[in-house]
């Protein structure tokens, strides 16, 4: 064989889609199987590229706690997948200690939740559960399917000039992943052949004319300036639809979920497993119960190049896992990627992995003895989240109703866009703590809300230690920037929702509000300022984003370019919720799956272009 031919074959082996160079070398390594990494790894394999998908947790897809969406409260509390991050909401320790669900370790696997801990209790903080399992947090959430606002996609265009992110272009990503099961076939806004089932809630309760629940529904529709009182009209709008100016429409909707018509949860785990079992034998390898400890680099190139990852194998190795045994370790080894390493560990773990690998703020890394590969000060910064809050009370008699869901704009909103996603019904949800929620009985009535477009992204994810099994220090710094504006919007929303309750009439009234304005609604003396202060301390969240944010070339805090490439190094990308430059809409899970589809398109097109260029050069 000629030297030239040998060179051609060697180069081809490095770029060919399905060639595995050795037992531990793949074209791509994807770290994390959640809404970002799971679909991406499956798409790469289906495009013919050998792909290793690494997941720290196990597979709970056959466990009814996870597979049946109705069990989501149990799923989020379940130790089989739960990772507990204990976070702060502010730099004010006294304020955080006033959070009603501050959690303390009382030993032996028990907790105290509240503001008057017993002697000897160890402060943990505010619980922020994540899911360490195949499919990631899509496996333990409430399954709400909601879309980003157009401005969330256009933000990338404005920062980078990459017009492929323009909002009119991205509907195709929803259509590519969606298997819609609630709209008639052929609706141009939806997809029907994807891997993600979508369905809607049962609103038959709204047909009960003049019931207390329907009276509240009708009053809320009036407050949102909807003229019709017909429930078929009120719930007839498609919450995932694509009408003109959709982000400015205040309306009641039928809540959509990423589940099928039988209530079975639909997640990236399903796509992963179907890819693995497909008769086409796509080159996807799944490695579970494996903790990635760092990215490996070749530092001899002009820019450091990611060439693989170091892994530690074993179950419950990460200390966020309540099943973790102190001191437990696993065998350490390395696996390699001939093309790229893609980090999809989520908003907390992706910046942690980058920093452990030497990519992050120089001073932070050097203080922990980590060799700096690339000084990238934005890694772990700009942490943002939707503020979540609720108004809850006890009715005189139970209200027969399901969920009244609405996306709407408060009159004092900072922009013309909708800023509140709310849902009201006979339930209780007040945030996260071990064993949540509190069950107040049959008479409980709540309106929960998610604040869309939070204006403060001042949080951070920073290393406590250089130990990859340790959890990072997480501080959201709620309301630090423009906090009074966001709080005023939450208060305005609460006042409007409370007004709808007064329409319930007999036998539901009077309603004793528990918070934010304790007492009989309509009579309790509670100012807007009092409510704002309540939310300042008691707001919670579950939609963290933006710690490895896409940004402009000129921005020293930008971590990624518009193609998800980590700046200043080669062969390394981040594809998950941490990539969003701002919090996308009310529930980031489906937007992040769409983002994953976009990343798949970008990465596969780039790889095939490189392959085609190489083929042409050697023809």
Please report, rounded to a whole number, the percentage of residues in the chain having pLDDT higher than 90. 93
- State yes or no: pLDDT of 19 exceeds 60: no
What confidence score (pLDDT) does residue 611 get? 82
What confidence score (pLDDT) does residue 158 get? 98
- State yes or no: pLDDT of 21 exceeds 70: no
What confidence score (pLDDT) does residue 619 get? 56
What confidence score (pLDDT) does residue 618 get? 60
- State yes or no: pLDDT of 476 exceeds 60: yes
- State yes or no: pLDDT of 20 exceeds 50: no
Delimit the domains of the chain by residue range: 3-63+268-382+547-617, 192-264+384-467+478-538
Name the pLDDT band for 614 (thresholds 50, 70, 90).
Answer: low
Is 583 one of the annotated binding-site residues? no
Residues 6+ apart with CB under 8 A from 436: 73, 76, 77, 101, 429, 430
**Which is higher by pLDDT, 51 or 24?**
51
Phi, psi of 422 (to 5 degrees): -125, 155
**What is the CATH code for 3-63+268-382+547-617?**
3.50.50.60
| Mean pLDDT over the full length of the chain | 95
Q: What is the mean pLDDT of residues 301-310?
A: 95
- State yes or no: pLDDT of 429 exceeds 90: yes
Q: Write the DSSP assignment of 279-326 as a string of letters.
A: TT--SEEEE-SEEEEEEEEETTSSS-EEEEEEEEESTT-STTSTTPPT
Residues 6+ apart with CB under 8 A from 507: 212, 396, 397
Write the pLDDT tens digit of every residue in 72-125.
Answer: 999 999 999 999 999 999 999 999 999 999 999 999 999 999 999 999 999 999
What confidence score (pLDDT) does residue 154 get? 98
What confidence score (pLDDT) does residue 617 get? 62
Is 559 one of the annotated binding-site residues? no
- State yes or no: pLDDT of 455 exceeds 60: yes
Write the pLDDT tens digit of every residue in 205-239.
Answer: 999 989 999 999 999 999 999 999 999 999 999 99
Q: Do the domains 3-63+268-382+547-617 and 192-264+384-467+478-538 sit in the same CATH topology, yes or no?
A: no
Residues 6+ apart with CB under 8 A from 259: 69, 143, 197, 198, 199, 265, 266
What confidence score (pLDDT) does residue 172 get? 98
Q: What is the mean pLDDT of residues 397-419?
A: 97
What confidence score (pLDDT) does residue 437 get? 98
- State yes or no: pLDDT of 608 exceeds 50: yes
Is 203 one of the annotated binding-site residues? no
Name the pLDDT band for 22 (thresholds 50, 70, 90).
Answer: very low
Closest CA to 357 of 338, 336, 343: 343
- State yes or no: pLDDT of 179 exceeds 80: yes
Q: What is the mean pLDDT of residues 369-398?
A: 98
Counts of helices then strands in the chain (DSSP H, E): 15, 25
Write the pLDDT tens digit of every residue in 502-554.
Answer: 999 999 999 999 999 999 999 999 999 999 999 999 999 999 999 999 999 99
Q: What is the mean pLDDT of residues 7-19?
A: 33
- State yes or no: pLDDT of 2 exceeds 70: no
Classify residue 326 by burial, with Cβ atoms within 10 Å: 0-12, 13-18, 19+: exposed
Please report, rounded to a whole number, the percentage of residues in the chain having pLDDT higher than 70. 95
Write the pLDDT tens digit of every residue in 242-280.
Answer: 999 999 999 999 999 999 999 999 999 999 999 999 999
Question: Coil, strand or helix: which one is 406?
Answer: strand
Name the pLDDT band for 338 (thresholds 50, 70, 90).
Answer: very high
DSSP 58: B
- State yes or no: pLDDT of 571 exceeds 80: yes
Q: What value does the CA radius of gyration of the chain take, rounded to a whole number of Å?
A: 25
Is 143 one of the annotated binding-site residues? yes
Is 558 one of the annotated binding-site residues? no
What confidence score (pLDDT) does residue 278 get? 98
Q: Where are the beta strands (DSSP E) in 7-89?
A: 25-31, 51-54, 82-87
Name the pLDDT band for 616 (thresholds 50, 70, 90).
Answer: low
Please say whether the beta carbons of 238 and 263 come within 8 A.
no
**Which option is the CATH number for 192-264+384-467+478-538: 1.10.3720.10, 3.40.1160.10, 2.60.40.10, 3.30.560.10?**
3.30.560.10
Closest CA to 420 of 155, 235, 220: 220
- State yes or no: pLDDT of 16 exceeds 80: no
- State yes or no: pLDDT of 615 exceeds 90: no
């Amino acid at each position: 064989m000629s030297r030239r031919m040998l060179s051609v074959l060697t180069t081809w082996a490095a770029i060919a889609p399905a060639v595995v160079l050795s037992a531990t070398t793949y074209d791509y390594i994807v770290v994390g199987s959640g809404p970002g990494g799971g679909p991406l790894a499956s798409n790469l394999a289906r495009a013919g590229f050998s792909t290793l998908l690494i997941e720290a947790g196990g597979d709970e897809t056959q466990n009814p706690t996870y597979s049946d969406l109705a069990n989501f409260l149990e799923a989020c509390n379940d130790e089989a997948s739960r990772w507990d991050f204990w976070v702060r909401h502010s730099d004010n320790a006294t304020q955080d200690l006033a959070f009603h669900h501050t959690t303390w370790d009382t030993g032996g696997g028990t907790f105290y939740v509240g503001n008057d801990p017993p002697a000897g209790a160890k402060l943990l903080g505010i619980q922020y559960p994540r899911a360490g399992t195949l499919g990631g947090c899509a496996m333990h959430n409430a399954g709400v399917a909601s879309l980003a606002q157009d401005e969330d996609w256009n933000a990338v265009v404005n920062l980078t000039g990459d017009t492929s992110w323009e909002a009119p272009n991205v509907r195709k990503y929803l259509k590519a992943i969606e298997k819609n099961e609630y709209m008639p076939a052929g609706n141009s806004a939806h997809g029907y052949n994807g891997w993600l089932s979508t369905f809607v809630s049962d609103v038959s309760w709204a047909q009960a004319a003049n019931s207390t629940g329907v009276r509240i529904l009708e009053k809320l529709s009036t407050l949102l300036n909807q003229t019709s009182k017909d429930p078929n009209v009120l719930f007839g709008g498609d919450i995932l639809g694509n009408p003109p100016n959709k982000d400015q429409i205040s309306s009641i909707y039928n809540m959509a979920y990423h589940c099928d018509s039988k209530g079975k949860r639909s997640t990236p785990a399903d796509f992963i497993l179907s890819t693995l079992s497909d008769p086409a034998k796509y080159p996807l390898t799944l490695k579970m119960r494996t903790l990635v400890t760092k990215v490996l680099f070749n530092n001899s190139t002009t820019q450091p190049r990611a060439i693989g990852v170091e892994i530690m194998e074993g179950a419950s190795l990460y200390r966020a896992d309540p099943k973790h045994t102190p001191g437990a370790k696993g065998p350490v080894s390395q696996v390699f990627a001939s093309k790229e390493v893609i980090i999809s560990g989520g908003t907390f773990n992706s910046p942690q992995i980058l920093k452990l690998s030497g990519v992050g703020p120089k001073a932070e890394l050097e203080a922990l003895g980590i060799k700096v590969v690339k000084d990238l000060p934005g890694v772990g910064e700009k942490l943002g989240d939707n503020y979540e809050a609720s108004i809850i009370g006890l009715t005189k008699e139970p209200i027969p109703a399901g969920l009244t869901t609405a996306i709407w704009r408060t009159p004092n909103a900072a922009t013309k866009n909708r800023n509140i996603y709310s849902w009201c019904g006979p339930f209780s949800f007040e945030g996260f703590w071990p064993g949540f929620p509190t069950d107040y009985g049959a008479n409980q009535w709540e309106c929960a809300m998610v604040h869309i477009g939070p204006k403060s992204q001042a949080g951070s994810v920073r290393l406590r230690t250089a130990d990859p099994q340790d959890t990072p220090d997480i501080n959201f710094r709620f309301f630090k920037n423009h906090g009074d504006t966001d709080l005023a919007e939450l208060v305005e929303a609460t006042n409007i929702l409370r007004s709808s309750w007064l329409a319930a009439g007999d036998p539901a009234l009077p309603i004793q509000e528990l918070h934010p304005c304790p007492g009989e609604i309509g009579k309790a003396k509670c100012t807007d300022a009092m409510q704002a202060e309540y939310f300042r301390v008691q707001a919670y969240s579950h939609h963290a984003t933006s710690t490895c944010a896409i940004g402009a070339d000129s921005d020293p805090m930008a971590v990624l370019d518009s193609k998800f490439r980590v700046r200043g190094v080669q062969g390394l990308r981040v594809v998950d919720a941490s990539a969003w430059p701002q919090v996308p809409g009310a529930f980031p899970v489906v937007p992040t799956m769409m983002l994953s589809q976009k990343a798949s398109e970008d990465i596969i097109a780039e790889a095939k272009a490189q392959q085609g260029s190489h083929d042409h050069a050697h023809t």
